């Protein structure tokens, strides 16, 4: 899968996620490794999720994840929480904001 296809797939899943319980701005960059490697970010603002294929320099955190794991999350084989708990992704940054995403973003 290409980088563009991965970004489109993540956008298709997460831009319709329910973030109504997040009342603050959160921006997390995602570094994708493996096939289709690249960088994107997920931003929660005004209780909506946006996915864009760019660096986010003033970010709250950084996820590093293999493209296959990210696609498995999109296909609901794993949750973000499961991937994090089992070491399938790494996170650096504001832990509170990351946990807010794990606990409050509901993917349809």
pLDDT tens sequence for the chain (108 residues): 999 999 999 999 999 899 999 999 999 999 999 999 999 999 999 999 999 999 999 999 999 999 999 999 999 999 999 999 999 999 999 999 999 998 898 888
Give the Cα separation of 100 and 89 in Å (integer): 17
CB 46 within 8 A of CB 55: no
pLDDT for res 108:
80
pLDDT for res 88:
97
Compute the Cα dihedral for 19, 23, 27, 31 and give only its sign: negative
pLDDT for res 9:
97
Tokens of 33: 């490794």
pLDDT for res 86:
97
Q: What is the reported pTM? A: 0.93
- Going by C-beta distance under 8 Å and a sequence separation of 6 or more, which residues neighbour residue 9? 1, 71, 74
Q: Which domains does the chain have, with CATH numbers?
A: 3-97 (3.30.1050.10)
Mapping DSSP to helix (H, G, I), strand (E, B) and coil, where does residue 76 land?
coil
């Amino acid at each position: 899968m290409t980088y563009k296809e991965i970004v489109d797939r993540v956008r298709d899943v997460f831009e319709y996620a329910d973030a109504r319980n997040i009342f603050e701005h959160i921006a997390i960059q995602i570094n994708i490794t493996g096939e289709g490697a690249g960088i994107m970010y997920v931003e929660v603002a005004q209780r909506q999720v946006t996915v864009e294929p760019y660096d986010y320099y003033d970010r709250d955190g950084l996820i590093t994840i293999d493209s296959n794991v990210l696609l498995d999350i999109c296909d609901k084989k794993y949750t973000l929480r499961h991937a994090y708990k089992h070491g399938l992704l790494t996170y650096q940054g504001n832990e509170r904001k990351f946990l807010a995403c794990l606990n409050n973003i509901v993917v349809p």
